[in-house]
Amino acid sequence: MTPKLILASTSPFRQQLLNKLALDFDTMDPGVDESPQEGETPLALVERLAREKALAVAKRCDFPALIIGSDQLAVCDDHILGKPLTVENAIAQLKRQRGKTVTFYTGLALVDSRNMSCQSVVEPFEVRFRQLTDEQIERYVELEQPLWCAGSFKSEGLGICLFESLSGRDPNTLVGLPLISLSELLMSAGMDPLA
């Protein structure tokens, strides 16, 4: 029996990205506490959370499934940038990032519910911000309202105007789901998007 594909996320951005692979999938809320553990590095945090999200959903599956978990955070000057949640926080985050390079780490995990095996990777992506004015930052936040996005921008929208350069293996990583790595994990689990 072919396993179902499940995205352990309620993120509409991750759903849109996964649609690019032209595979049928369902979504489930993993319901995982995303708090960092004491002394946990950003890389360890995103990988752990991606695994925990996929495993949490796998434990609720009473059918064969491949479950995708993902988590992302941004780091600027050794400081973790989370989701701003308010306009004021978004403006403050963008002011902190102007003229600097921010590294995004996206954890990705794939769990096979048939044997609870788990594959995981962390995909980095660097963004170099322009030297933005306060007015540009405030206008951007007003127009795009990136309050639920780590780093306070949407690279798939107007946020692209904030950048001087992008550097990484897969531009989808910046939005929250590295599709190159995901397609590799899926193929190794027997689900080839091109088959």
What's the confidence (pLDDT) of residue 83?
Answer: 85
Selected catalytic residue, list 24, 71, 77, 78: 71
Please give the pLDDT value at position 189: 95
pLDDT in tens, 2-58: 899 999 999 888 999 999 999 999 999 999 998 889 999 999 999 999 999 999 999
pLDDT for 140: 98
Q: Is 26 a catalytic residue?
A: no
Confidence at residue 150, expressed as pLDDT on a 0 to 100 scale: 83
Residue 127's φ and ψ, nearest 5 degrees, are -125, 125
Q: Which residues have a Cβ under 8 Å from the Cβ of 67 and sit 6 or more positions away? A: 6, 7, 8, 28, 54, 55, 57, 58, 61, 110, 111, 113
pLDDT on residue 89? 96
Task: Give residue 18's pLDDT.
Answer: 97
Distances from the Cα of 131 to the Cα of 5, 95, 136, 171, angstroms:
42, 9, 10, 22
Entry pTM? 0.91
In the chain, which stretches have pLDDT less than 50? none
pLDDT at 148: 87
Burial of 23 (0-12, 13-18, 19+ CB in 10 A): middle
Q: Identify the pLDDT of residue 131.
A: 97
Q: What residue segments make up the domains of the chain, in order of their start?
A: 4-188
Confidence at residue 154, expressed as pLDDT on a 0 to 100 scale: 87
**Fold exhibited by the domain 4-188:** Maf protein (3.90.950)
Q: Please report the pLDDT score of residue 129 as a whole number.
A: 97
| d(C-alpha 113, C-alpha 61), whole Å | 7
pLDDT at 155: 86
